[in-house]
Chain A
Amino acid sequence: MPWWYFEKEELKNTPSRKDNVEFDTERRYRREATNFIKECGNLMGLGYSTIHTAIVYLHRFYMFHSFRTFPRYVTACSCLFLAGKVEETPKKCRDIIKKASTILTSQKMMSFGEDPKEEVVTMERILLKTIKFDLQIDHPYRFLIEYAKCLKSNGNTPKEQVVQKAWNFINDSLETTLCLQWEPEIIAVSMMYLACKISKYDVVDWKGRVPDHQKWWDMFVKDMTKNILEDICHQVLDLYQNPKGKSEAPDSPPQLPPSKASLIKASPPPQKRAKLQQSPVMNPKVAVNHIPVKVSSNEYDMAKVPHPPYGYPSTSYQQPPPPAYLVQSAVPPPLPAHSNIHHKPPLPPASNYPTNNNIPPLPPSRYPAANIASNQFYQLPPTNNYSHKNNRSNHYHQPYQ
C-alpha cells in the first residue's frame, strides 16, 4: 500500500517546487483547482462524496507531478470524471468539459488543447497510474456524524448548528493539503473541535465514555494531542484570512492570460464578501474566545499578514454568532436524524477566494443524505485486515514541530 500521508517537509518540497513553482503559487493552484472541482461538481449535481473524492485525487496527483507539467484544470476535470465513475455517479466526459467551459475563461480553456475530451481521457490514465488505482477514499463526513451523535453538552447551542459548522469546515479544509497530512477521522475530530470552540459548545459528556477518556475524541482516535488538533485547525482558519501574499502571488504562467484572481482584485467587492461584512462576525461586542494555543505562524507566511475585517482571524479567535441561515431556520431536528444535517452546507463562512465569488448558493438537494450511507457498503468485517491504517503501529503522527 502506498502511503498517502506526507510530512510537512515533503509538502514543501513537491515536484512543483522543484519545477520552480513557488510554495504560495502551488497553494493557490491547489485552491483554484479545488474550488473549480467544487463548482463544476455542484453545477453538475454531483454529491459531496464525489466532489471530495475528486479533490483528494487531485491533491495526491500533484505530490508526484508538477503543476507546470499538467495544467490544473485539465487534471481537475479528469479527477472529477474518474471520481464520478468511482462513486457511481458517472458523468459524461463531454458534459464535464462543457460545464468547465462555462466556468473557466476561454484563455484557461486553452490548456485543454484542441481536443479537450481526448486530453481529459488521456489525463485520466496518467491519474490512475499515479494514484495506484487507490480509488476508495474515506471522507471525514461520516466520521463527523458518527462522533457528533455521541456528544453531550449542557449549553444552549443546538448540536446541529455545531455539526453544520464542522461540516463546512471540512468542506473548506479541502482547499488545504490536510487530506495529505491526516486521516479523515482526525480531520473530523479536529473540525468538530473547532466548531465546538467557535460555537461555545462545551462537550461535558459523551456516550461510551470510560474513565480513561480525558477528552471526547479519545474515544475515537488515540494520542490526539492538543498540538495536533490546533495545528490542523489553524491550517483551516488560515484560509479565512485575506492573504496579502495572494495579490502579490505570481499569476498563472505567463502564457496564460490574467487569471480571474487578478481581475477580481481590481473589481468591486464581490457578492460574497459583501454578505460577510454584513454578518456580525466581527462585531466587537462579541466575546473573544481564545483557543488556548500558541499561534505558530511559521508554516504559512499568510498567517503573518494582518487580517482583514472579515473571516476568522487566526490570531484572535472571535466567536462568530450563528450564521443567518441557522438563525432563521426552524428549530433544527434532533440528531441522529441524518438527513436533516446533510442539507447543503452554506457557502464557506469567509472564503475570500476570488475564483469562488460568482457561485450562487445552491439548492439543498445537492447533498442527499443517502450518499453517506453509500460509504458503508465498504465496511469490512472484523476478519479483514484491509486498511493501510492498520499497518502502522504508530498510527498518528507526532505533532509537527
Chain B
Amino acid sequence: MSQQPPQQSRQEASQPAPAQMSSGYATLEQRLKYISEYNFPFCDESAKYEKVAKIGQGTFGEVFKARSKSDNKFVAMKRVLMENEKEGFPITALREIRILQLLKHENVVNLIEICRTKANKNNKYKSIFYLVFDFCEHDLAGLLSNVNVKFSLGEIKKVMKQLLNGLFFIHSNKILHRDMKAANVLITKTGILKLADFGLARAISISKNGQPNRYTNRVVTLWYRPPELLLGDRNYGAPVDMWGAGCIMAEMWTRSPIMQGSTEQQQLTLCAQLCGSFTPDVWPGLEKLELYHKMELPQNHKRKVKERLRPYVKDPSAVDLLDQLLILNPDKRINADDALSHDFFWTDPMPSDLTKMLSQLTQSNFEFLAPPRRSNQMMHRYQQQTTSQVPPRPQDNSYQDRVY
C-alpha cells in the first residue's frame, strides 16, 4: 500500500498545467493532452512492473507474474478486461476491488494497488487497469497435481486450518467467496495459504422487508458447487463456501477433485451417490427449491461419505470433519468457526509448518502450468455413466515459467 503522501505533495507541482484559454472549458484536444500527461497521485503506471510470465488465464482475463522495477519484488498482475464492457468499469471488478480492500488478512490474498497504463493516442486514451497482488508461488491445484509434492497429515492440517481461518474471516465480514476451488487457493513458498480470486465474491445482504435474497446461482465451478446451488437456491449463504472447503479437503488426499460432473444434473447425481439421496428428512425445505422438481434426484442412495473416503483418509477425525463439511443440507453443514474447533486440528499430529516441504520444490506450481490431473480410480468408478472430463487447459506454453 503506498504511503500517504504528505499533504502538500498531493497536488504535485509537476502536474501539467491545465492549459486552456483564459476563459471557457478546455477543448477536447487540451483535455486529452491533460489526461495523458497528468500524473495521477494515487494510481501508478503499470510500467513500474516488468512482466515476467503469464501464470493464469480465465474468463476474467489474464494473470501475469511481474517484477517491481523499484525493489525487484514479485507481484501478480490481473488485468481488468474492459474491452467488451458496455457499462464502463465492470461491476464485478468493482466488487472484487471493494471486497479486497476490506479483507486484509494473512490468509486472504493481498491487493497491493491498482495500476493503469498511460492513456495515450494508441489506446484511444483508455487506460488498461491491473490489480496488483503479492505474488504467491503455488496454487493448491498445481501442488496437488505434482506427484513429487507429498503432504503429511500435519501439513494437510496446516493447509486446512489456514483455509478455514481465511473463510472464517471473510464470512465474519459478511462476504461470500462463491468460487472455492483448489486453483483459487494460493500458497506462498513460506507455506502461507491465501484465498484468491474474489471475482465472484459478494456481500451478504440482509434480506429486505422479509423478502428472500435473489442472488445468482450461476456461481462456483461445477465440481465444487454445493447441492443448494445445483437445486437453484437463490437465498444461500456462507455454507456454499464450506461445501467447497470440504471438496478441497478431500482432494488433499485423493489428489483430484472428488466429484467431477460434466453437467449440473450429473453433479447432483454425484452428490447423491456420495452424500445420500436428497430427501426432506435430511433436508427440510428442500422441496421449495426452484429446481427440486426439474432435476432428477436419485433415490435410495445411502450416505457413503465416510466409507468412500476412508480408503484415502486414514485419520478418523479427518473423516469426521469431512463428513460434517459434505452435508447436503446447508443449514446442517458445519461452519468455519466450528470446523476450526474440530478435533482434527487439536489432536496429534498437530498442524505443522509447510516451509520444509515447500523448500524442496524448485519451481512454481500453478494449475495453469501443470499437466492435466488424472481423475483417480476410486472416483472413476462412480463416473462411468458419463465420461469424466478434465476441463481443457490453455495450450499456451509461450510463458512457461518454472523457477521462482
Contacts and interface: CB of A to CB of B under 8 A. Distances in A.
Nearest to B91: A85
Nearest to A5: B7
A125 B23 contact: no
B225 to A, nearest CB: 23
A136 to B, nearest CB: 6
A68 B18 contact: yes
Contact of B89 (A125, A253, A379): A125
B11 interface: yes
B98 A135 contact: yes
A129 B23 contact: no
A378 B42 contact: no
A380 B203 CA distance: 13
Interface in B158-186: 169, 172-175
A325 interface: no
Interface stretch (A177-185, A292-300, A367-375): A367-375
A68 B25 contact: yes
Given A1-B4, A69-B31, A132 B43 contact: yes
B105 interface: yes
A212 interface: no
A133 interface: yes
B104 A69 contact: no
Q: Interface residues of B toward A: which range?
A: 35 or more
A111 interface: yes
Interface in B4-60: 4-5, 7, 10-11, 18, 20, 22-26, 28, 30-31, 34-35, 38, 40-43
B149 interface: no
B315 interface: no
Interface stretch (B204-212, B254-262, B383-391): B204-212
For the complex, would chain A's binding face be called helix, strand, loop or mixed by DSSP majority? loop
A377 interface: yes
Nearest to A385: B104
Contact of A380 (B31, B87, B102, B206): B102
B147 interface: no
Interface in A129-145: 129-136
B206 A135 contact: no
B125 interface: yes
Given A1-B4, A377-B203, A386-B102, A133 B43 contact: yes
A374 B205 contact: yes
A64 B41 contact: yes
A252 to B, nearest CB: 9
Contact of A129 (B43, B169, B173): B43
B40 A129 contact: yes
A69 B125 CA distance: 15
B116 interface: yes
For the complex, would chain B's binding face be called helix, strand, loop or mixed by DSSP majority? loop
A3 B25 contact: no
Nearest to B16: A69
Given A66-B18, A370-B209, A133 B104 contact: no
Contacts of A368: 208
Contacts of A7: 7
B4 A254 contact: no
Given A93-B87, A93-B88, A378-B203, A20 B98 contact: no
B234 interface: no
B173 A3 contact: no
B126 interface: yes
Nearest to A113: B28
B11 to A, nearest CB: 7
A92 interface: yes
B200 interface: no
A122 B98 CA distance: 21
Given A19-B18, A135-B94, A381-B173, 8 more contacts: A19-B20, A69-B20, A81-B88, A85-B89, A93-B88, A134-B101, A373-B206, A380-B102
30 contacts: A7-B7, A65-B38, A71-B25, A82-B89, A82-B94, A90-B87, A90-B91, A120-B88, A125-B89, A126-B35, A129-B40, A130-B42, A130-B43, A131-B42, A133-B101, A134-B101, A135-B98, A136-B98, A136-B102, A253-B24, A254-B23, A254-B24, A255-B25, A376-B174, A377-B203, A377-B204, A378-B203, A380-B102, A380-B173, A386-B101
